[in-house]
Every structure is written in C-alpha cells, then in structure tokens.
Structure 1
C-alpha cells in the first residue's frame, strides 16, 4: 500500500517542481524579473533528490525508519507541499485569481499581493501555469497525508 502512495507523491512532487520551474522562467522573461529564477535553486534539487530517493526505494524497498525516508518526507512536505504547493500554487495563484476575477477590491488585492513581488493577472500563460501549480498541489497534499497515515498505521503494527 505504501509503495502506491510513495509513487504518487513522488510523481506529483516532480510534476509540480517541473511546472514551477517553467512558470518562474517564463515569468522572469515576460516581466523582466530575473530574480524569479531563484526558484530553480529549490525546484531542481527537489526534482533530482525526489527521483533518486524514489528509485532507491524501488531498488532497496521502503524502509520507513531510514534516514533517507525521513529526508524524503521532510523534503516533500516542506518544499513541494508547503512552499510551492500550498503557498505558491494555492495562495499566490489560485486565491489571487479567484479574488481578482470575482471582483475583490483593488486595495484588498494590493494588500494581499503587494507589487513588485506579485503581478495582477495580465498574462494567460503565466496565470495558467501558476494556477496549475495549485491544481497539482491539491492531490499532492491529499496523497502526502495518505502516505503519512499509511506510515502511522505501519508503525503501529510494528
């Protein structure tokens, strides 16, 4: 059972990080904000380590009490679920677009999403890839919780 959750969490995490890399590179170009490329210092290592850990688990088996599995869980929770998934995807894009397109006041939007860090929706592809981050983050979060629950059940049995 846990192998299925690790597989799904790993795939969603890598997909989210690839999407985030593309989104930020595109944003850096269209908004002439090269600082947006800083995300690559997070996304690329997360992609690499997630793939390495995943194939390590396939080859050696999932040893839930191993240091590698602990690092995998923390890396996935902090980088993929929390920072990129929930903050970047859900807050920065899903919420921003939902508020923007439902007519929330401009002052409220500026308070929640202050420039120059944030751009109000004005480019379809930038917003589309940003919203997709939030869309991917939702099942990633659900499957991460399932993985942690499966881990808890396994630990209880052992």
Structure 2
C-alpha cells in the first residue's frame, strides 16, 4: 500500500474514483443543460454537450494511460494531465462556475435577497429565475459533485507522485 517515502501507492480505486466523479459532473451538466434547453426553448444551452463528451473521453483516455503506465514517466504525465483537465473542466468551469455561481449563488440571492436583486445579478436571457425545481436541483447538484471530483483528483495526484 505505501511506498518507501510514506506516500501511499496509487491503486486502481484512486483512478476510478477521480474519473467517476469527474464523469458524474459532466453527465449531470449534460442532463441539466439538455433539460433546460427543452424547458426554456433555448437550444443554445445544448452547447455544453459539445464540451462534456469530448472532455469525458479525454479524461477517461488519460486516466487509462496513467493507470496502465503508472510506473513510467508517461504514466505520471498522463495522470497529471488527467488531473489538470478534471480540475479545469468538470471542477472549475462546470462545478464551481456553473453549479456554484450560476445556480447555488443565484438561488441564495433569489430566496434571501429577492427577485429584483437576483435579476440585477443574473439577468435574462442567460439566466432563468428559479421556477423549475428539477432545473435548479440539477444545476446546483453540479457543485457538490465537483467538490467530490476535486477531492478524489487531488488524492490521486498525491498517491501517484510516488
């Protein structure tokens, strides 16, 4: 389990967990945006599908190479590359910005500060005021999923450096 310098060795579970939570964020955002596009008749929301699928495939490929070549320089580099992609796309761009700001913060402002304040901070047509529970819950859900993706990805980076 552990290497000689006290850093635990990477196991398949570390790669699987980082990948699974990252894919969960991407899947949630795909569902959320497709639902929102249909609900609000805003086809432009489907743009995220063109980001989510390639990002998911890239993450999976990098994690696979990282795991299968984990004892080589290539393995360490591809694991680091996977972590960078995970931390930028599912975590920062989708989880923190889309889920945390666009939905969690918008709902907090709307329900605590009122609709006028929310409209000033989150103007249409980019934003919809909370009026559909499924849309808001799938939007907010991106944030905690991204927190888990970040935690497992950082753990993977820690154990894979040995």
What does residue 98 of structure 1 align with? 108
Q: Which structure 2 segments of 5+ residues have no match?
A: 1-8
Residue 129 (structure 2) aligned to one of 102, 120, 123: 120
Cα shift at 1:46: 1.1
Residue 119 (structure 2) aligned to one of 98, 110, 125: 110
Q: Is the 8 A contact 2:65 2:78 kept in 1?
A: no
> Relative to structure 2, which stretch is displaced further, 50-59 or 64-73?
64-73
TM-score (norm 1): 0.83
Q: Is the 8 A contact 2:62 2:81 kept in 1?
A: no
Q: Is the 8 A contact 1:86 1:134 kept in 2?
A: yes
Distance 1:118 1:146, change over 3 A: same
Where does 1:67-146 land on structure 2 (aligned, <5 Å)?
Answer: 67-101=77-111, 103-146=112-155
CA–CA distance in structure 1, aligned partners of residues 77 and 158 of structure 2: 19
CA–CA distance in structure 2, aligned partners of residues 36 and 94 of structure 1: 18
CA–CA distance in structure 2, aligned partners of residues 63 and 121 of structure 1: 50
CA–CA distance in structure 1, aligned partners of residues 105 and 72 of structure 2: 38
CA–CA distance in structure 1, aligned partners of residues 105 and 71 of structure 2: 36
Alignment length (residue pairs): 152
What does residue 16 of structure 1 align with? 25
Cα shift at 1:64: 6.1
Q: Which structure 1 segments of 5+ residues have no match?
A: none
Larger Rg: 2
Deviation string for 1:19-73 (max 9, x for gaps)? 1001101101110101101111210101111222233333333646654234312
